[in-house]
Amino acid sequence: MADNRLEDVLFGIFVAQADRALIRGNQISSKEQYELARKGDGIRLWYSQGVTVEGNIVRQARDVVMWYSSDVTVVDNLIEGGRYGIHLMYCDHAVIEGNRLLDNSVGIYTMYSRQVMLRQNDLRGQRGPSGYALGFKDADAITAQENLLVDNGAGVYIDGTPFTPSSYARFEKNILAFNDVGVIVITAVHGTNFEENTFWENVEQVALQGGGKPGENRWQGNFWSDYTGFDADQDGHGEIPYRSERFFESLTDREPLLRALIYSPAAQAIEMAATTFPVFKPQPKLEDTAPLNNPTAIPAWVTVTQAPSQWAQLILAGLGLLSLSFLLIHPPAFKGLAPTTNTGGKPPADPGSSIALQPPMKTRSIPTDSLISGPAPAIRLEGVSKRYGKATVLEAVSFSLGHGESLALWGANGAGKTTLVKAILGLIQVTGLIQVNGRSVQRDGKAVRRHIGYVPQEAIYYDMSVQATLAFYARLKQVSPERVSLLLEKLGLAEHARKPVPALSGGLKQRLALAVALLSDPPLLLLDEPTANLDARSRRDYLGLLRELRKEGKTLLFASHRLEEVETLADRVLVLERGKLIEELPPNALRQRLMPEAELALWIASEQRERALSLLNEAGVEGHINGRGTVVIQLDAGQKLKTMELLEQHGVHVLDFDIQRVESWN
């Protein structure tokens, strides 16, 4: 099940007892008129083993549910506006990686499952009644690494995990920022390990729920934004332990409704009394004996792309005042001395920022030069890859295309040309960076496509007239009727305006597809095999239209395996082979590469044929006279002109010639 668009459906995709199923690249949205609980599941797995769920977009559906299904792989999905983003139950050996979960009631909730890996997931805005980004109930062998948990009700909720004493639950190198509570732990939980995580400006860093003494869990080497210790030996760790022991927080743990007063004068008075009179001092919730003095680095796959919200600006303003006061106490003259506290550390992110994941994403690096100012190229790709299971369709493709340029993608069928065009359109998810006019296709696909006109290899339209078809798409693109009339004339369709589209020839259908692409007058045109199904005359006329568009300043990127298209239109040629970019050539060099050897048939007057053959043999060119009296020679493609010049110099006139055979690309 791949690349389906399921809109306004009660249920999306239901996989039951179907082992090793593949659910990839689907777009699913539920019925808007129903409240969330009445909607169906966007995706549901039931007793299905070894299933891969990859690159899907699920919006406004109830849940993505995976029950009684082992060895599930869930990667690079976007799940937004639902109830349970991902709900695992009895799903052993699951891998949940590189997903974005935004504005759900709960992010990823794992129940009664073993051997679950959660890595590099981006969870923001889980704000339902519980609001957990990651939740665990009676689960074993859990690993959560490098996840981004920002602006949720709670970053992590842990109950009965690990479930068995001999098992484990490891939370490593995660960023928990601006949540109401960083981690909620039920007091009965034992054996959980938190190491090298960043706890940044959560309203409450850690909360305990349930009666009794806190369980024995390990907190070691984490960064805490409210830590007030120092790093005397500059080894990166504080000299005194971090202890979570605020009195008012202990009250809110017992009565969560008191969190409404967290910044009130009453809360501050209670906290001051507890500090002044140790008799009120609560028992510490946790102790980190080696707290980090600086936050862990922001993962390479995370980037901040939008201005902070008003709330985030207030937080950052407060941090700025703290930094200013620190500089007043420690002026730049002492910049060689290390700070004694970590209060000046930079936040990993803020809740109002768009913290975007680059799908794909087995490698999610964001090039640093993407932040350099100056005019952006029309198209820029960095390390773009695409895999379907074990098959690699694109592998680390990188190039740029300047404004007004024309670039050809050359390669045999299956080389990856069409996949690359669709990736630039944002129609398929890939890893790496794709930008159009400096904007990310992965993050701003809809806005980017406004600047692109796309002509597919074979366009399919409704059974309407040419005029009605263009008018229909003009309304969708909010284009004036005058633009329709202009394009009908410009592309030679005016006299066919009343014809039904199915009655058009292949050449006219392709002109109609070009007219649709040009309706909004986009600066960039993407064409996939533009003349593949045309006869020679239609191909020549169509290439003439494209040449005129080039003169008008349009930027062209087109996929082709026709040499005449490339030589007519392209400034540069990118050669693709099995998904890899193997070479970049000027168009005139492409023919030389494709034709390293040529077999020429020369039509020469009968009285001069023997002399011509003798001259050629003396020059080292092998040849013979065939049964029709034609001189046939084999030579390097670059020697064709010199060979005929040689004959002319000796008085042998070539009446005509033809290239009989060329060697294919090796």
Q: Is residue 325 part of a domain?
A: no
Most confident option among 138-142, 426-430, 434-438, 574-578? 138-142
Neighbours of 609 (CB within 10 A): 17
Which residues neighbour 66 within 8 Å (Cβ) at sequence distance 6 or greater?
44, 45, 51, 53, 72, 74, 86, 87, 88, 89, 91, 94
* Rounded Cα distance, 410 and 555, in Å: 17
Least confident of 62-76, 314-328, 552-566: 314-328
Q: Does the structure show a pLDDT above 60 at 307?
A: no
pLDDT at res. 632: 80
Question: Does 72 fall in a domain?
Answer: yes
Residues 422, 565 within the same domain: yes
Question: Do 559 and 606 fall into the same domain?
Answer: no
Distance CA 208, CA 192 (A): 14
**516 and 408 together in one domain:** yes
Q: Residue 521: enclosing H or E segment and its boundaries? A: none
* Domain end marker among 168, 192, 226: 226
Domain check: are 556 and 642 in the same one? no
Give the model's pLDDT for residue 279: 45
Considering the domain architecture, whether residues 22 and 148 belong to the same structural domain is answered as yes
pLDDT digits (tens, 9 = 90+) for 213-238: 777 899 999 999 888 888 878 888 88
Is residue 495's pLDDT more than 70?
yes
Q: Do 484 and 563 belong to one domain?
A: yes
For residue 483, being part of any structural domain is answered with: yes
Q: Return the exposure string of 410-434: e unless at least 16 CB atoms fall within 10 Å of the residue's CB, then b.
A: bbeeebbbbbbbbbbbbebbbbbbb
Q: Which residue spans within 151-270 are E strands per DSSP?
A: 154-159, 169-172, 175-177, 181-186, 192-195, 198-200, 204-209, 218-220, 223-224, 242-244
Find the CATH number of the domain harbouring 13: 2.160.20.10
**Domain annotation covers residue 278:** no
Residue finishing a domain among 208, 226, 244: 226
Q: Which two tokens stand for residue 438?
A: 């400096």
Domain membership flag for residue 362:
no
Strand 572-577 and strand 391-401: pairing? Answer: unpaired
State residue 251's pLDDT score.
52
Verdict on whether the full-model pTM lies above 0.75: no
The CATH number of the domain where 502 resides is what?
Answer: 3.40.50.300
**Residue bearing the bigger pLDDT, 420 or 412:** 420
Question: What single-letter DSSP state applies at residue 237?
Answer: B
CA–CA separation, 420 vs 405, rounded Å? Answer: 18
Q: Give the pLDDT band of residue 313 (cuts 50, 70, 90).
A: very low
> What is the spatial distance between Cα 40 and Cα 24, in angstroms, rounded to a whole number?
19
Whether residue 542 is found in the same domain as residue 655: no
Residue 530 lies in a domain: yes
Once rounded to an integer, what is the mean pLDDT over residues 580-589? 85
Of 539, 574, 589, which closes a domain?
A: 589
- Are 577 and 515 within one domain? yes
CB burial readout 102-114, b (16+ within 10 A) else e: bbbbbbbbbbbbb
pLDDT in tens, 587-620: 877 766 665 566 677 778 888 888 888 888 888 7
**For helices 609-618 and 640-649, what crossing angle results, to 10°?**
120
Which of helix, strand or coil describes residue 588?
helix
pLDDT at residue 418, as a whole number: 87
Q: Same structural domain for residues 451 and 525?
A: yes
- The total number of structural domains that make up the chain: 3
Q: Confirm whether 151 is domain-assigned.
A: yes
Q: CATH number for the domain including 617?
A: 3.30.70.980
pLDDT of residue 636: 65
Three-state DSSP class for residue 469: helix
475 and 616 part of one domain: no
Residue 192 resides in a domain: yes
pLDDT reported for residue 337: 30
**600 in the same domain as 575:** no
Residue whose pair of structure tokens reads 């078809």 in the numeric block: 469
pLDDT of 623 reads: 77
Full domain range(s) for residue 211? 5-226
Same domain, 580 and 599: no
Q: What is the mean pLDDT of residues 501-525?
A: 88
Residue type, 65: V
On average, the pLDDT of the chain sits at 80
Any residues with CB less than 8 A from the CB of 134 and at least 6 apart, and which?
Answer: 107, 108, 109, 110, 118, 123, 144, 147, 149, 155, 156, 157
